[in-house]
Amino acid sequence: MSLFKSISGLVKPATRIIRILFKKPMTLKFPQESLEPVKDYRGKHFLDFGKCVGCGMCSRICPNEAIEMVEFNGKKSPQIHLGKCCFCALCVEKCPTKALTMTHEAMISLYDKSLAVYGPDKLSQSVQNG
């Protein structure tokens, strides 16, 4: 009986290893392959500059203080530091004119952290698909 248990103890892990070796991997070859974001995914921000009235509600509600109001084309507009942002979308919820929205744009990888600061000009150029 103990011989049977010994052989069984060797065969079971070996068959499991063989099954795993020939199974399709669960990972993707990123960035060539990627999954579509879920329906309510919160990616980069998008600013409709024409709707923004410069009230600063977005900067006041931000829990991480990632939004700063800056002067742009003669009026106050939000500047967002994506490195500080937790993508909670409170700024989007509290925007009275709905000028600030979230996109499904997920690829936020940078070599220099100073590039993570999105001014009004860069926020209004984001791809809006959300």
In terms of DSSP bridges, do strands 67-72 and 45-47 run parallel, antiparallel, or are they unpaired?
A: unpaired
Q: Read off the pLDDT band of 130 (50, 70, 90).
A: very low
d(CA 100, CA 93): 9
Residue ranges and CATH numbers for the domains of the chain are 27-123 (3.30.70.3270)
Asked if residues 116 and 82 have their Cβ atoms less than 8 Å apart, the reply is yes
The H helix count followed by the E strand count for the chain is: 4, 5
| Contact residues for 130 (Cβ-Cβ < 8 A; gap 6+) | 41, 42, 43, 46, 101, 102, 103, 104, 105
79-114 confidence digits (pLDDT tens): 999 999 999 999 999 999 999 999 988 778 788 888
Cα–Cα dist 108/58, whole Å: 21
Three-class secondary structure of residue 63 per DSSP: coil
Give dist(CA 61, CA 58) in Å, integer: 5
- The pLDDT of residue 27 is above 70: yes
Kindly tell me the burial class for residue 24, based on how many C-beta atoms sit within 10 Å of its own C-beta (0-12, 13-18, 19 or more). exposed
The residue among 35 and 117 whose pLDDT is bigger is 117
